[in-house]
Chains A and B, each alone.
Chain A
């Protein structure tokens, strides 16, 4: 069995994760975790939809920020995709998407403050980087044949529009729709740092133990995402996109002097700002590295590796829930509901809920990351098994699962998992804001101490770590000849 490279790499990652669990801080520290969890589910079962006067407004803002952010992101991403062959563009895109939406929001909050632009850019910028990469991959895979059949002298613009785009259109549309769903999640969590979206009220209700209020918000959010196919219609899109900017709320006016100050003073390392010279800077930088960056990197990497393997295990366990090779329609429907809830809940919100219930440690983060990402991958490979045709006399039950289905989907399973490696790490870093000692914890502490120079260095380090993992993930996928689909 170990002759297969896919098996070897799986066991290597499993061993790393087990080692990680041994050194990681995994514990349930609350006195009555199950009682709290029970109260939470009771809250979800008895939702209170009339708690906050602002709930409907918050939902509207959540949708508005998602539409404006994703629209801007996809336009910019599309333009960048056209020049994606250029190395500087690729590096630029890798960099902007390596920084999480919440980090972007925390940066813009420092100079735009509570203006709608903060939320719009926090979504649009990283999304542009992701769109650029995926659009360019889709464009590259377009069939070159139609272009060759065009008469000589056809302008390259016409060739692009009439020979390339039609071939990619469906894929690009599907992917953009998927990103819109992600945009709704991103938009919701921006409320956690103070923008007027759903997370704002969710955080308040949760931290006060008002589980029925929080339950109502979660239910509305699931409904919003589950009904997307009904209300996101191609014909209605122009209307939504035109209307969305008017529903962002007015926020507070931008003072432009703050922008200049942020870039020319705030983020300049303090020893340089106060002219203390290179030695003082080296000392300052060393201090940031040793007391903040290194512990942050270590915890981020350990948590990422555990969460990655937990995601994989959960995905493998979950895909039969929706696979047509097992069980009847009732089981499959409930499986679908479970997976939709798992993947619709942003990791950040899941982790926040579990942290409140179980107390601080890496455990809530691991479970949150595994549930969300495992839900996504489980859904994708579950769907993939539905297109497999088994022999009429194929074994049933556990044997069918382990000898027929898993081996057939294992390669694409690994491809999805390594594709999400970087995404999991990006989330892991951000979960630090909730109090787990990953890089986000130190970024948040620096911002709370109004030390933006430290915060920027730490955000840069987080971005570089992400770019590194992204490259490693791509290398492994290439070595194992795993085909990736950009729809994950």
Chain B
């Protein structure tokens, strides 16, 4: 029988695997939560990778991931050293990686908002406060964005629970998770879900680009503001990439001024951030049981 060739193939396989794993040593790798259409993200973050590579003098690589948790896990497992997180994913990541730090946030992220949007055929009318919407919302179908999203899940769920003292499943007839903000917009626009909640920047940008059928979908309520997206870096990057590396990355991000790149986020610029800025997010996440 052919046992020994089989063994050889097996050995060859493992050799190849381990060879592949040691191939690339000191590349600075970063990722981002997949909060929007992937094509946009890949374009945006390849631009960021090129920019950082120029500024930092090390090879920089962006890897796309399929879920918020995958971004957090890759950061925790030290397979990526920097990440563009949302408020919640950033808090999760920094809890799991002692020494990691929020180093920069978008100008708009200090006061971020969630928009509740509704399909016009649903009969939900815009209101100034969420409790005025109560009768309209009851029994409708509703979609969040990703399960791990701050603006697409955490904050809208917090306000729904806070105002109506009910779990979303008890308030709405159907609750879904669209996956990302663009998807939420498309699903509510198409009427698959009657109501949804999304990142206000995604709404504003799509509106500006003329990608929203405003006869089919409208904003019905805006949340109060809260801190959101930020760049978070691991604490051990100085050991690995040299003294002062973290400072260099921070400075590079804060001085990013390429208008096209900023527009792709969309942010008007980046400003310093600290872990404490996200304390309200941590408290909210604990409040609704997403964090232990």
Query: A and B, one complex?
Result: yes
Show the binding face of A for B, using Cβ within 8 Å: 29-32, 36, 68, 71-72, 75, 109-111, 113-117, 120, 161, 165, 192-194, 200, 203-204, 207-209, 238, 241-242, 244-246, 248-255, 258, 270, 359-360, 435, 444-445, 447-451
- How long is the Cα–Cα vector from A109 to B77 in the complex, in angstroms? 10
Pairwise interchain contact B192-A30, C-beta atoms closer than 8 A: yes
Q: How far is the CA of A75 from the CA of B12 in the complex (A)?
A: 14
Most chain B CB atoms below 10 A, which of A114, A241, A246, A258: A114
Q: How far is the CB of A198 from chain B (nearest CB, A)?
A: 14
Chain A residues within 8 Å of B147, by CB: 444-445, 448-449
Supply 28 A–B pairs (Cβ within 8 Å), ascending by A.
Answer: A29-B141, A29-B174, A30-B190, A31-B192, A71-B10, A75-B6, A75-B10, A109-B70, A165-B1, A194-B65, A204-B39, A208-B182, A241-B13, A242-B12, A245-B14, A248-B17, A251-B20, A252-B29, A252-B79, A253-B21, A253-B24, A253-B79, A255-B77, A258-B76, A444-B147, A445-B147, A447-B69, A450-B92
- Residues of B165-212 contacting chain A, CB below 8 A: 174, 176-177, 179-180, 182-183, 186, 190-193
Closest to A52 in B: B39
The answer for the CA separation of A29 and B143 in the assembled complex, in Å, is 12
Which 6 A-B pairs give the minimum distances between C-beta atoms?
Answer: A31-B191, A245-B16, A194-B66, A448-B147, A252-B79, A245-B13
Residue of B nearest to A111 (CB): B77
CB distance from B66 to the nearest CB of A (A): 4
Is B37 close to A, CB under 8 A? yes
- Chain B residue at minimal CB-CB distance from A241: B9
Extra pairs beyond A31-B191, A72-B13, A449-B148 (20, CB < 8 Å) = A29-B174, A109-B73, A114-B74, A117-B21, A165-B1, A193-B67, A207-B38, A207-B183, A242-B9, A245-B16, A248-B17, A253-B22, A253-B79, A258-B78, A359-B192, A359-B193, A444-B147, A447-B67, A447-B69, A449-B147
- Give Cα A270 to B95, complex, Å: 15
Nearest Cβ distance between residue B16 and chain A, in whole angstroms? 4
What residues of B have a CB within 8 angstroms of the CB of A248 in the complex?
Answer: 16-17, 20
B66 close to A192 (CB less than 8 A) = yes
List chain B residues, Cβ under 8 A from A448. 67-69, 146-148
Please tell me if B111 contacts chain A, counting CB pairs below 8 Å: no
Q: Contact string, B34-71, partner A, CB cutoff 8 A, digits 1/0?
A: 00011100000000000000000000000101111110
Docked-complex contact B1 and A161, CB < 8 angstroms: yes
- Contacts across chains A and B counted by CB atoms under 8 Å: 137
Q: Which of A72, A116, A203 contacts B20 (CB 8 A)?
A: A116
Rounded to whole Å, the gap between the CB of A244 and the closest CB of chain B is: 8
List, in ascending order, chain B residues with CB within 8 A of A254's CB.
21
Asked if B5 CB lies within 8 Å of chain A CBs, one says yes
Closest beta carbon of chain B to A360's beta carbon, Å: 5
A445 contact set on B, CB distance < 8 A: 147
- Give every chain A residue within 8 A of B13 (Cβ-Cβ): 68, 71-72, 241, 244-245
Q: How far is the CB of B108 from chain A (nearest CB, A)?
A: 24
User: B191 contacts which of A30, A165, A249 (Cβ < 8 Å)?
Assistant: A30
Say how far B91's CB is from chain A's closest CB, in angstroms: 11
Point out the residues of chain B lying under 8 angstroms from A194, CB to CB.
65-67, 70
**Measured CA separation A68–B25 after assembly (Å):** 25
Residues of B within 8 A of A360 (CB): 174, 176, 192
In the assembled complex, B96 has its CB within 8 A of some CB on chain A: yes
Q: Which residues of B contact A208 (CB under 8 A)?
A: 37-39, 182
In Å, the complex CA distance between A98 and B113 comes to 44
| Residue in chain A with minimal CB distance to B21 | A253
The answer to whether A450 and B72 touch across the interface, beta carbons within 8 angstroms, is: yes
Counting chain A CB atoms within 10 Å of each CB, the highest count among B69, B186, B292 belongs to B69
B260 within 8 A of A: no
- In the complex, A110 Cα to B147 Cα: how many Å? 17
When the two chains form their complex, are residues A245 and B176 in contact, meaning their CB atoms are under 8 A apart?
no
Give the CA-CA distance A209 to B192 in the complex, in Å: 14
Which single residue of chain A is at the shortest CB-CB distance from B13? Answer: A245
* Nearest neighbor of B143 in chain A, beta-carbon distance: A360
Q: How far is the CA of A155 from the CA of B39 in the complex (A)?
A: 62
- Give Cα A207 to B21, complex, Å: 31
**Within 8 Å CB of A109, what residues of B?**
70, 73
**How far does the alpha carbon of A238 sit from the alpha carbon of B292 in the complex, in Å?**
51
**Is A113 a contact of B192 with CB atoms below 8 Å?**
no
Q: Report A210 CB to chain B, min CB distance, Å.
A: 8
Kindly provide the distance from the CB of B128 to the nearest chain A CB, expressed in whole angstroms: 28
Bound together, the chains give a CA A26 to CA B76 distance in angstroms of: 40
CB distance from B21 to the nearest CB of A (A): 5
User: Is B290's beta carbon under 8 Å from chain A?
Assistant: yes
Q: Which chain A residues lie closer than 8 Å to B183 at the CB level?
A: 207
Give A456 Cβ to nearest chain B Cβ, in Å. Answer: 15
